[in-house]
Amino acid sequence: MQLTHPPFAPKVLQTLQSLGIRTQADIRARGAAGAFLLLKAAGLTVTRSTLWQLAAAERDIGVHDLGPSEKAALLEAVRRHPPVAVFPSQTEMEDFMRAALAQAEQSAAAGEIPVGAVAVKNGEIIAAAHNTCVGSCNISRHAEIGVLEAAGKALQNYRLDGCDVYVTLEPCCMCAGALIQARVARVVYGAKEPKTGAAGSVVDLFGDIRLNRHTAVAGGVLADECGALLQRFFNARR
Residue 61 pLDDT more than 90?
yes
Q: How far apart are CA 17 and CA 199, in angstroms?
A: 28
**How high does pLDDT run on average in the chain?**
96
DSSP-assigned states of every residue in the chain? -B--TTTS-HHHHHHHHHTT--BHHHHHHH-HHHHHHHHHHTT----HHHHHHHHHHHHTS-GGG--HHHHHHHHHHHHHSPP--PPPPHHHHHHHHHHHHHHHHHHHHTTS---EEEEEETTEEEEEEE--HHHHT-TT--HHHHHHHHHHHHHT-S--TTEEEEEEE---HHHHHHHHHTT-SEEEEEE--TTT-TBTTS-BGGG-TTS----EEE--TTHHHHHHHHHHHHHHH-
Q: Is 172 annotated as a binding residue?
A: yes
Mean pLDDT, residues 73-79:
96
| Whole-number pLDDT of residue 1 | 87
Single out the residue of 34, 26, 19, 16 nearest to residue 79, CA to CA: 34
* Candidates 105, 112, 124, 144; catalytic one: 144
Q: Is 81 annotated as a binding residue?
A: no
| Whole-number pLDDT of residue 219 | 98
Residue 213 pLDDT more than 90?
no
Residue 107 pLDDT more than 90?
yes
Q: Is 163 annotated as a binding residue?
A: no
DSSP-assigned states of every residue in 193-230? -TTT-TBTTS-BGGG-TTS----EEE--TTHHHHHHHH
Q: What is the pLDDT of residues 4-17, one digit of tens each?
A: 999 999 999 999 99
Give the chain's domains with CATH numbers: 10-80 (1.10.150.20), 90-236 (3.40.140.10)
Q: What is the pLDDT of residues 25-42, one digit of tens each?
A: 999 999 999 999 999 999
Annotation says 144 is catalytic = yes
Q: What is the pLDDT of residues 152-198, one digit of tens each?
A: 999 999 999 999 999 999 999 999 999 999 999 999 999 999 999 99
| Whole-number pLDDT of residue 128 | 98
